[in-house]
Amino acid sequence: MTISMYQASVPVFIRMLGNLGAILEKGEAHAEARNIDPTVLINARLFPDMFPMSRQVQIACDIPKRGATRLAGKEPSETPDAEASFPDLIQRVRDTTEFLKGFCAADIDGSEDRSITVKAGGEDAEFSGQTFLLNFVLPNMYFHISTTYNILRHNGVELGKRDYLGSR
């Protein structure tokens, strides 16, 4: 059985963003239940040179949004990074998910060999569509969702592997 570029991208993005939204909801509930200023969690980092949780969420949304757009042969639009609360971050996840639902298989399939150039680390990085998806977009999305999970877990939010993986 073969898997299409669409099957390997958009449904995976949507599933993982849904899990991220649920993780953020647990973070918000944790802060409320324990009378913790939510900005403490939103600005938390695992190490001083890492981005805060809010930026991790923003990137976790931007990567699949930009990835799907580029795989479809279009240039992605920029989303301002203005989220400062759990509801803002959760809404960004929902908005990104709705955006991704606008893609269909015909938009993405056949993009395996499409030439894609992105800025990575301040330099141009060139990929084929398949390499872009498998070696850049998916690992980056997973990294930033995992880091969000880890920041919240480190700060006492009761999360487990099932929260990260979601339901079947």
SS (H, E, C) 50-75: CCCHHHHHHHHHHHHHHHHHHHCCCC
**What pLDDT score does 74 carry?**
94
Domain ranges within the chain, ordered by starting residue: 10-165
The dihedral sign for the CA sequence 78, 83, 93, 136: positive
Fold of 10-165: Four Helix Bundle (Hemerythrin (Met), subunit A) (1.20.120)
Q: Which of 164, 135, 141, 140 is nearest to 152 (CA)?
A: 164
Q: What is the pLDDT along the chain (168 residues), one digit of tens a residue?
A: 689 999 999 999 999 999 999 999 999 999 999 999 999 999 999 999 999 999 999 999 999 999 999 999 998 888 999 999 999 999 999 999 999 999 999 999 999 999 999 988 899 999 999 999 999 999 999 999 999 999 999 999 999 999 999 986
**What pLDDT score does 1 carry?**
67
Is the pTM here over 0.85, yes or no?
A: yes
How far apart are the C-alpha atoms of 8 and 11, rounded to whole Å? Answer: 7
**What pLDDT score does 168 carry?**
66
What is the SS3 assignment for 38? Answer: helix
